Amino acid sequence: MSLTDATYLDYQATTRLANEAFDAMLPYLNAHFWNPHSAHKLGRAVAASVENARDNVAALMPPGGRVVFTSGATEALNLAIKGSMTPTSIIAVSAIEHAAVLDTADWLAGQGATVIRLPVTPDGLLDLAAAEQLLPDRIDLLAVMQVNNEIGTIQPVEALAEMAHARGGLFLCDAVQGYGRLPAPANADMVAISAHKIHGPKGIGALWVRDGVMLSPLIHGGGQEQGLRSGTLSPALTAGFGAAAKVALARMEDDARHVQHLWQLAIKHFSDWMINGSVEARYKGNLNIRRDGLDVARLMSEVRDVAFSAGSACASGSGRPSHVLRGIGLSDAQAKKLYPFGVGPLYDARRHHIGRRNVKRRRRGNFMITVNFISHDGETEKLVQAQVGDNLLKVAQAAGLPLEGTCEGQMACSTCHVIIDKLWFDKLPRASEDEEDMLDLASGARRTSRLSCQIDLTAELDGLVVHIPTESRSMQGV
């Protein structure tokens, strides 16, 4: 199996670079190589492209603020916390924040700051009433993420921002998992985001800062990025970030519907698994599940053609148990039975069936494979379990699908012809001349059409996608 054949279910860790972002980056990797901070005409030309990208990134944020480019969200969060706080500050964070927030807050605690960790409920949500009781009358900063990177829960960030402001503090939101997918928190003071979580390039992120909020720089030198981040900007990375943000804004509603569809498929197929975190207050591109008796490390080693995570990619090499799972009350033993799946706007639902099937097949330990039958209009699907060696026509007929096959496999009719998904067509044995002759007579035949009576299922066809080709064949009741 090549790497590109794997089913990728780790969209919380990173996303594929969008074509639009790739195309936007190319000129600045070659012909337009100039320094955007140079005063000459060529430098000013690429500087204009940087500002155009900045505007595209800012278009997904509230009005009345500015975008500061960084190397990623980790730097952005460090800039927000260290750049606004002092050793005498009072800082409050949720117990399930990203390590970039928790570790930075702990570093400041070592300098003398007071850090308050707010617990979450077993659903992974901050209890607003409990937070009101735990927070002192005055704080300097409250930091809570919009969408959790491990369990996908959506926090009531706007209410929390009001809580911080009522105590004279700033509100910082880690919106890495929500940016481009959900509306940005309108009343936050600082928002950290990352390009590669929205199909942009790795190596660039940003901190949105509300007008009037003053920060001290972490990096000193030439005074670039409004004096907050010295160093030469990469026009290629900013262009890719801006293009990805522009696409995310244009497709936000369509992407939300697509992700909701994937969520419904996932919870249907994993209906006997336990979901970690709130189901209602959740980004539906995240499915974090567990099952008693299964060990995540062992399953990952056995299901090598499905890429999913055992926790946050940012801490996967630390050896530390997940503080998020501990925060919602799970033991370390339960955490080892956890499987976080992440999908996104560019994720193909057909790959979902393949990945879901591979995980469940390894769990059962048998030789069953899955065939996905799709109606001619593409709107109705039926997943059918079959054994290796079964004939595709017999499998379809046993499942009640409208394939006649009246010639009993003798190729004297074409009533059993189907359209094989192009991802699978080349994996089938080549059609004989007799089969090709019958396909010439088939109504609605296409280049990837085959007679289902001539296809015997093999292990390599696990996940096969088959289209019922004509409108005269109904898939009612599927």
CATH code for the domain in which residue 442 is found:
3.10.20.30
Given 329, 362, 395, which residue is the final one in a domain?
362
Taking residues 50-64, report their average pLDDT: 97
| Whether residue 206 is found in the same domain as residue 90 | yes
The pLDDT of residue 459 is 77
Q: 287 lies in a domain?
A: yes
- Band (pLDDT 50/70/90 cuts) for residue 147 is very high
- Residue 5: its pLDDT value, please? 64
Q: Which of 233, 248, 263 finishes a domain?
A: 248
pLDDT band with cut points at 50, 70 and 90 for residue 388: confident
Q: Are residues 42 and 156 in the same domain?
A: yes
CATH number where 35 lies: 3.40.640.10
Is the pLDDT reported for residue 409 higher than 80? no
pLDDT in tens, 2-46: 566 678 888 889 999 999 999 999 999 999 999 999 999 999 999
Does the pLDDT at position 406 exceed 80? Answer: no
Most confidently modeled of 139-153, 420-434, 441-455?
Answer: 139-153
Sheet holding 141-143, edge to edge: 65-70, 205-210, 190-194, 170-174, 141-143, 90-94, 114-118
**Does residue 33 sit in the same domain as residue 101?**
yes
> How many domains would you assign to the chain?
3
Q: Which residue has the higher pLDDT, 95 or 433?
A: 95
- Domain limit, last residue, from 340, 362, 384: 362
- Residue 329 is part of a domain; what is its CATH number? 3.90.1150.10
8 in the same domain as 51: no
Mean pLDDT of 289-293: 78
Lowest mean pLDDT among 116-125, 347-356, 404-413: 347-356
Give the mean pLDDT of 88-101: 97
- Check whether residue 316 and residue 199 sit in a common domain: no
Q: Is residue 476 part of a domain?
A: no
Residue with the bigger pLDDT between 472 and 76: it is 76
Query: What one-character DSSP code corresponds to residue 282?
Result: B
Q: Is the pLDDT of residue 353 over 50?
A: no
Top pLDDT among 327 and 338 is at 327
- Mean model confidence pLDDT for the chain: 86
Residue 337 is predicted with a pLDDT of: 57
- E strand map for 2-84: 7-8, 65-70
Indicate whether 351 and 403 sit together in one domain: no
Q: Say if residue 389 is in the same domain as residue 422.
A: yes
Residue 289: pLDDT over 80 = yes
pLDDT for 468 equals 84
With CA atoms as reference, report the closest residue to 22 among 198, 202, 247, 201.
Answer: 201
In this structure, is residue 477 part of a structural domain? Answer: no
Q: Is the pLDDT of residue 314 over 90?
A: no
Is 310 inside a domain boundary? Answer: yes
- Does the pLDDT at position 146 exceed 90? yes
* Whether residue 409 sits in one domain with residue 358: no
| Confidence (pTM) | 0.72
Question: Are residues 113 and 227 both part of a single domain?
Answer: yes
In this structure, the answer to whether residues 442 and 387 fall within a common structural domain is: yes
| CA dist., res. 105 & res. 432, Å (int) | 68
325, 326, 331, 332: CA torsion to nearest 10: 80
pLDDT at 318 over 70: no
Percentage of residues in the chain with pLDDT exceeding 70?
85
Residue 472 lies in a domain: no
Residue 297 contacts residue 336 (beta carbons within 8 Å)? yes
Is residue 474 scored above 50 in pLDDT? Answer: no
* 377 is a domain residue: yes
Hey, which residues are catalytic here?
314
Q: Are 123 and 183 contained in the same domain?
A: yes
For residue 368, the tally of other CB atoms under 10 A from its CB is 14
pLDDT in tens, 247-278: 999 999 999 998 998 899 888 888 888 899 99
Q: Which of 56, 11, 73 is nearest to 345 (CA)?
A: 11
352 and 377, same domain (yes or no)? no
Q: What's the mean pLDDT in 165-182?
A: 97
**Does residue 330 lie in a domain region?**
yes
* Band of pLDDT at residue 340, cut at 50, 70 and 90: low
- Residue 354: inside a domain: yes
pLDDT 10s digits, 187-201: 999 999 999 999 999
pLDDT tens-digit series, residues 205-247? 999 999 999 999 999 999 999 999 999 999 999 999 999 999 9
Q: Which of 335-349, 351-365, 429-443, 445-459 has the lowest mean pLDDT?
A: 351-365
Range of the domain at 402: 366-467
Q: What is the pLDDT of residue 266?
A: 86
pLDDT value of residue 386: 86
Per-residue pLDDT, averaged over 129-156, amounts to 96
